[in-house]
Structure 1
Amino acid sequence: MSWQERYKSKLTTSKEAVTHIKSGDTVLLSHAVSEPTALVEAMVENCKAYRDVVVSHMISLGRGAYSKPEMREHFRYVGLFTDKATRASIHEGQGDFIPVYFSEIPEMIKKRRLAVDVFMVMVSPPDENGICCVGVSCDYTMQAIKSAKTVIAQINKYVPKVGGEAFVHIDEFDYIVEVSSPLPEVKWAETTEADLKIGQYCASLVEDGSTLQLGMGGIPNAVLASLKNKRNLGIHSEMISDGVVDLYEEGIINCSEKSIDKDKMVVNFLYGTKKLYDFVNNNPAVELRCADYTNNPLVIRESSKFVCINSAIEVDLWGQVNAGSIHGKIFSGVGGQVDFIRGAAMSTDGKGKAIIAMHATTTKKDGTKVSKIVGSLSAGTLVTTSQHDVDYVITEFGIAELKWKTVKERSRSLIAIADPDFREELSKQFELRFNEKC
């Protein structure tokens, strides 16, 4: 048969496709913007046919209905990261969580430490040769397609075609469902004055010709907005958002001085709005690569003048970074933070910089202001980046360079960039710990 005939033989409905999920199966979803919502919704609607199905993924932009209490008999969520839709299930004992570096997820799937029975993925329509593009999420997707016993693909005409490792032939799919809908758009809150100050401090550490990794949220966007006077910047990151588009169109990001993947922005997933999805479509300047490449410290170390910028929930005076838990409960996950920090530390040109950028305070629901620089992490708090790995910490009050500093030096540096309202209390904690005036 021709590929067109084979394609037609695989075509089915969402409702029919999910009947191939069996009780006890592990179902992995492509994540973030790539979540195959039509398939997920059909799976949830068919819940009474299942018992003890494990559903796993990184970020979900959907409703996470499979993780809700009423689904306890049918589904169990096991996160590789967590999000607003799913983290409650872990807190309530219905779900679970796997601590894993993003760079290791493809290998975990390959070795069947996460044994994927069914992988559900969203892809572009096939081209004239029967080849589809995973478009917005390459990360663990390509390995899951290779390793899963059953692969169900949702064909969505809105998925962009992006170069790199993002292409897969229809023969790799067992069942195909054609359901198109616009991709979800991720929009951040308006940039605050504090964001801009943090962005400016971060930008001061970025040299012309640097290669950047940026996380998600208001602060990375503020960093990008502060790079207008830089030249010949490159991108090697796990994700990019809309802010990168503006700098590329202005010629500030052109990847011309990258030491690897020259002239290419290399990422493993996309997280933004239609502006970003239109920009990457058939754009030879952008390549999707798998997480075991983009996030591999041994690859990252080869990037010239590498600067990675990530966020945190809190940092203590030892320099320990918590980016994954609140009040002893899972909030997110490690993602790629440590992958990039270690890659920067290993930089072959000796110019790598790893930045933790965060607001100095946060405000609780009751309006109470709380310092994000704390004396000690509380019991049960997860350490995302250890005191041995931390490099720079930046708040709206300045830059603390911690790498290879003594514990007293780093404590003083962190107190200096804390909100002024909390410096006296932090100084008292310093004095109790070290029996010495701050």
Structure 2
Amino acid sequence: MLLELKRKKPEDVLELIKDGADLIVPLANGEPSTILDVIEEHAMSLSNVRIHQMHPLRERKYMWGEYGNNLRHVSYFLSGAVRKAYLAGKCDLVPNHFHEVPKLMRTKTKASLIIAQASPVDEHGYFSLGTNADYTSTFIGKAPFFLEVNKQMPRTYGGNQIHVSQIEGYIEVDYPLADAKNPVITEEDKQIASQIVDRIPNGATIQMGIGAIPNAIVAFLQNHKHLGIHTELLSDGAIELIESGVVDGSQKMNLPGKIVTTFCLGSKTLYDFIDQNGGIEMMPVDYVNDPRVIAKEDCMISMNATTDVDFLGQCASETIGGKYYSSSGGQADFARGALFSKNGKGFICLHSTAKNGEISRIKPQLSVGSAVTTSKNDVDHVVTEYGVAELRGATIAERTKRLIAIAHPKFRDELTFEARKLGFL
């Protein structure tokens, strides 16, 4: 009876949006496209409404400021859908560490309404937020929800369950989730991966993101045993490790035996894999990415990518050439968590050059306008295809020498010259 009462039409969401409302939308496939279409179609009847979201999948007119103050986008992590609009000054970006986003949204917004995609209801009256827990799940029972129930959204378990009594309403849709294409793995990626794998012991708990290097690492881990996964993002690369028995989570401290993540993004193969998979625990990001939680693992291995590293060890991972490209995400969360973990290790990876070998990514100083994502004090290892530079506890002179040693050979003399000019050598 209650389920039928909560069934709505898409336009019914408009009755829940008051002047000055702050709407919160999940990242990636948690984004409710049909509901957002309706809100955008009626944007000129709204007043001072803001949509708060990380990593949107679809470019929209409100991101470009086409509705003025009626409807405005506030980003917490830029994606390809919103990057150009932000650089053109048409929407806003809030600096953050991923684990802090729920608190920021609770304290700095009204959290007027959460609109999210969900899986179909189960026999007990519960929906699942499917591919997501992220910051959205922290509002379950604490803020009003309006759901877009998609027949193709997988049912997952963990802290992302919401009962029909906890929602204002829902609509039903049926469309495929967005795929994230697997990147091409280069020889440089393989070289970087091979050097990291040598430093991952059996029984370690790993965090790995999406991209060519994480996928390359998977191929080198097939002879490992008793690995665990505690990661903000679960992507296709993890499936092979889990199905082969390399990952069993038996030595994890946090939720032993479970693969812990806060959102999933990949192919349909991944979405089918997580559907009703009791081994995967979808948890809120203020748990998954909390450095204090991460540090409880006895051997946490953090692996992330950056675009530029300077001689101090500062990593600019969210800007390119001094212009914003993404945001901090969870890189610093896991870098800090791994350092506090007993026997933990952190790896920041990058190709040694950019622009077809024309530019060194290891630099004397970061470009003007670059944002430091992971500070010099939190960086443990930096890895290129030419080796591993251990920076933790190293002096500035030692850091400089070690980073130059893993730069592309054609830039090493120039980098050494610049280091002497700066007084680092």
Report the TM range for the smaller structure's normalisation: over 0.9
3-state SS, counterpart of residue 70 of structure 1:
coil
After TM superposition, give the deviation of residue 259 of structure 1 in Å. 2.5
Question: Hey, what's the Cα distance between the residues in 2 that align with 1:361 and 1:36?
Answer: 39
Deviation readout 1:311-363 (Å, 9 max, x if unpaired): 1111111100111112333211111111111111111x2x0001101111122
Q: Is the 8 A contact 1:119 1:145 kept in 2?
A: no
Please give the per-residue CA displacement for 1:264-323, whole angstroms capped at 9, x wherever unaligned: 110011111111111111112111111111111111111121100011111111100111
Q: 1:131·1:167 contact (CA, 8 Å) conserved in 2? A: yes
- Please state how far the C-alpha of 1:368 moved relative to its aligned partner: 6.8
Q: Which amino acid aligns with 2:116?
A: V
Amino acid at match of 1:15: E
Residue 50 of structure 2: aligned partner: 54
Query: Are residue 362 (structure 1) and residue 354 (structure 2) matched?
Result: yes
- Indicate the residue corresponding to 1:305 in structure 2: 299
Contact 1:233 1:252 in 2 (8 A): yes
Q: How does the TM-score come out when normalised to structure 1?
A: 0.93
Matched residues in 1 for 2:105 and 2:22: separation? 11
Shift in Å, 1:435: 6.8
Kindly state the Cα deviation for residue 55 of structure 1 after the two structures are TM-superposed: 1.4
Structure 2 counterpart of 1:378:
367
Q: TM-score, normalised by structure 2?
A: 0.96
Q: Contact 2:65–2:91 at 8 Å: present in 1 too?
A: no
- Alignment-derived partner of residue 42 in structure 1: 38
1:128 is aligned to 2:117:
no
Alignment of 1:37-436 (within 5 A): 37-110=33-106, 112-148=107-143, 150-347=144-341, 349=342, 351-363=343-355, 369-434=358-423, 436=425
Aligned equivalents of 1:153, 1:57: Cα separation in 2: 16
Inter-partner Cα distance in structure 2 for 1:124 and 1:314: 40
Give the length in aligned residue pairs. 425
Q: Is the 8 A contact 1:24 1:54 kept in 2?
A: yes
- For residues 128 and 241 of structure 2, what CA distance do their matches in structure 1 show? 26
Instruction: Tell me, yes or no, if the aligned pair for 2:222 and 2:241 is still in contact at 8 Å.
Output: yes
CA 1:425/1:72 → structure 2, altered by over 3 Å: closer, same or farther? farther
Question: How far apart in 1 are the matches of 2:150 and 2:37?
Answer: 15
CA distance in 1, matches of 2:68, 2:201: 52
Kindly state the Cα deviation for residue 63 of structure 1 after the two structures are TM-superposed: 2.1
Quote the offset at 1:398 in angstroms.
Answer: 0.8
Alpha-carbon distance between aligned partners in 2 of 1:84 and 1:280, rounded to the nearest angstrom: 26
Take 1:401 and 1:374, find their aligned partners in 2: how far apart are those partners? Answer: 17
Q: Report the Cα distance in structure 2 between the residues aligned to 1:270 and 1:435, rounded to whole angstroms.
A: 43
The amino acid of 1:434's aligned partner reads G
Whether 2:47 is the aligned partner of 1:33: answer: no
Residue 109 of structure 1 contacts residue 147 of structure 1 at CA under 8 Å; is this kept in 2? no
Corresponding residue SS for 1:308? strand
Aligned-partner residue type, residue 177 of structure 2: L
Distance 1:418 1:50 in 2: 53
Please report how far the alpha carbon of residue 113 of structure 1 lies from its aligned counterpart in structure 2 after TM superposition: 1.7
Q: What amino acid maps onto 1:238 in structure 2?
A: E
CA drift of 1:228 comes to 1.4
Contact 1:36 1:122 in 2 (8 A): yes
- 1:369-422: CA deviation from partner (whole Å, max 9, x where unpaired): 221111101222111111111100001111111001000101111111111222
Deviation by residue 1:190-228 (Cα, 9 ceiling, x = unmatched): 111111111111111111111000122111111122211
Any idea what SS the aligned residue of 1:146 has? coil
* Distance (Å, rounded) in 2 between the aligned partners of 1:153 and 1:14: 10
- Residue 353 of structure 1 aligns to which amino acid in structure 2? K
1:258 alignment partner, SS class: coil
Letter in 2 for 1:10: K
Counterpart of 1:136, as a letter, is T
CA RMSD of superposed structures (Å): 1.6
Structure 1 stretch 221-230 or stretch 391-400: which is displaced more?
221-230
- Seq. identity, %: 34
Following TM superposition, where does structure 1 have runs of at least 4 consecutive aligned residues deviating by more than 4 angstroms? none
For 1:69-91, what per-residue CA distance to the aligned partner results, in whole angstroms no more than 9, with x for missing partners? 43335322211111111122322
Higher deviation after alignment, 66-75 or 283-292:
66-75
The superposition leaves residues 18-58 of structure 1 with CA deviations (integer Å, 9 ceiling, x where unpaired) of 35323422111111121111111222222222243211111
Task: Please say if residues 344 and 353 of structure 1, whose CA atoms lie closer than 8 Å, have aligned partners that are also in contact.
Answer: yes
Matched-pair contact (CA < 8 Å) for 2:197–2:217: yes
What amino acid is aligned across from residue 291 of structure 2 in structure 1?
P
| 1:124-166, Cα deviation, whole Å (9 max, x unpaired) | 1111111111111102111233343x42100011121212112
- Report which stretch shifted further, 80-89 or 367-376: 367-376
